[in-house]
Structure 1
Amino acid sequence: MSSRFQFTIHATDGRARLGTIAMQRGQIRTPAFMPVGTAATVKAVKPEGVRAAGADIILGNTYHLMLRPGAERVARLGGLHRFMGWDRPILTDSGGYQVMSLSDLNKVTEQGVTFKSHLDGSRHLLSPERSIEVQRLLGSSIVMQFDELVRPDVPEKKQREAMGRSIRWARRSREEFDRGEAHADANAIFGIQQGVLDEKLRRESADALIDIGFDGYAVGGLAVGEGQEAMLRCLDFAPGQLPADKPRYLMGVGKPDDIVEAVTRGIDMFDCVLPTRSGRTGQAFTADGPLNIRNAAHAEDQRPLEEGCPCPACSTYSRAYLHHLVRSQEILGAMLMTEHNLWFYQRMMQGLRDAIGEGRLAAHARDFLARYRAGRKG
Structure 2
Amino acid sequence: MTFELLANDPNSKARAGIMQLDHGPIETPIFMPVGTVASVKGVHQRELKEEINPDIILGNTYHLYLRPQLEVLEQAGGLHKFMNWDRNILTDSGGYQVYSLSANRKIKEEGVKFKSHIDGSYHFFTPENVMEIQRTIGADIIMAFDECTPYPCDIRYATRSMHMTHRWLERCIAHLEKTPYKYGYEQVFFPIVQGSTYKDLRRQSAEYIANTNQQGNAIGGLSVGEPAEEMYAMTEVVTEILPADKPRYLMGVGTPINILENIALGIDMFDCVMPTRNARNGMLFTAHGTINIKNKKWEFDFSPLDENGYTFVDTEYSKAYLRHLFAANEYLGKQIATIHNLGFYLWLVREARKHILAGDFREWKDKMVRQMGNRL
Amino acid at match of 2:2: Q
Equivalent position of 1:10 in the other structure: 6
Offset of 1:211 from its aligned partner?
2.3
Residues in 1 aligned to 2:101 and 2:107: alpha-carbon distance in whole angstroms: 15
- The answer on 1:221 being equivalent to 2:217 is no
1:21–1:27 contact (8 Å) kept in structure 2: yes
Match of 1:212 in 2: 212
Matched to 1:7, the amino acid is F
**CA shift for structure 1 position 152:** 3.2
The two structures have a TM-score, normalised by structure 1, of 0.96
Could you tell me whether the CA contact under 8 Å between 2:141 and 2:190 is conserved in 1? Answer: yes
CA deviation profile, 1:227-264 (whole Å, cap 9, x unmatched): 21111121221112111110000000010000000000
> Match of 2:177, SS?
helix
The answer to whether 1:134 aligns with 2:130 is no
CA contact (8 A) 2:284 2:292 kept: yes
Q: Which amino acid aligns with 1:32?
A: I
Residue 158 of structure 1 corresponds to 157
User: 1:84 maps to which residue?
Assistant: 83
TM-score normalized by structure 2? 0.96
Per the TM alignment, residue 182 of structure 1 is displaced from its structure 2 partner at its CA by 5.0
Which residue is equivalent to 2:72? Answer: 73
Letter in 1 for 2:36: T
Identity over aligned pairs, percent: 44
Given that 1:136 and 1:186 are in contact with CA atoms closer than 8 Å, whether structure 2 keeps it comes out as no
1:43 pairs, out of 38, 41, 44, with 41
Q: What is the match of residue 280 of structure 1?
A: 280
Match of residue 251 from structure 2: 251
Whether the aligned pair in 2 keeps the contact of 1:196 and 1:221 (CA below 8 Å) is yes
CA distance in 2, matches of 1:344, 1:57: 16
The CA distance in 2 between the partners of 1:229 and 1:199, in whole Å, is: 13
Distance 2:307 2:91 in 1: 35
Deviation of the 1:103 alpha carbon: 5.5
| Residue 169, structure 1, aligned to residue 165, structure 2 | no
Deviations 1:62-120 (A, max 9, x none): 11111111123211122111111111000000001113212543421111001111111
For 1:213 and 1:109, the matched residues in 2 are separated by 27
Equivalent residues, number: 372
The question of whether the paired residues in 2 share the 8 Å contact of 1:160 and 1:201 is answered with yes
Other-structure match for 2:117: 118
Cα distance per residue 1:259-283 (max 9 Å; x no partner): 0000000000000011111111211
In structure 2, relative to structure 1, the CA distance for the partners of 1:182 and 1:231 (3 Å cut) is: closer
> Alpha carbons of 1:78 and 1:299: their partners in 2 closer, same or farther (altered >3 Å)?
same
Cα distance change of structure 1 residues 206 and 236 upon mapping to structure 2, 3 Å threshold: closer
What's 1:290 paired with? 290
Instruction: Verify the 8 A CA contact 1:104 1:115 in the aligned structure 2.
Output: no
* Letter of the 1:154 counterpart: C
The one-letter amino acid paired with 2:67 is R
Aligned partner of residue 243 in structure 2, secondary structure: coil
Query: Do 1:91 and 1:143's aligned partners in 2 also have CA atoms closer than 8 Å?
Result: yes
Tell me, yes or no, if the aligned pair for 1:103 and 1:117 is still in contact at 8 Å: no
SS in structure 1 at match of 2:33:
strand
DSSP 3-state at the match of 1:20: strand
Query: 2:333 & 2:105 partners in 1: Cα distance?
Result: 40
Equivalent residue for 2:329? Answer: 329
Inter-partner Cα distance in structure 2 for 1:271 and 1:127: 24
Q: Does the 8 Å CA contact 1:103/1:116 hold for their aligned counterparts?
A: no
Q: CA deviation at 1:149?
A: 1.2
Answer whether contact 2:13 2:266 (CA < 8 A) is retained: yes
Instruction: Report if the CA contact (8 A) 2:127-2:172 is conserved.
Output: yes
Q: 1:128 Cα deviation (Å)?
A: 0.6
Instruction: Report the alpha carbon displacement of residue 174 of structure 1 after superposing the two structures with TM.
Output: 1.3
**3-state DSSP of counterpart to 1:39:** coil
Q: Residues 296-349 of structure 1: CA distance to partner in whole angstroms, max 9, x if unpaired?
A: 111111111222224111121111111111111112111111101111001101
Q: 2: distance between equivalents of 1:33 and 1:169?
A: 27
CA contact (8 A) 2:22 2:186 kept: no
1:182-222 deviations in Å (ceiling 9; x for gaps): 54544200010001111211121122222222111011110
Q: Is the Cα contact below 8 Å between 2:219 and 2:249 reproduced in 1?
A: yes
* Equivalent residue letter for 2:141: I
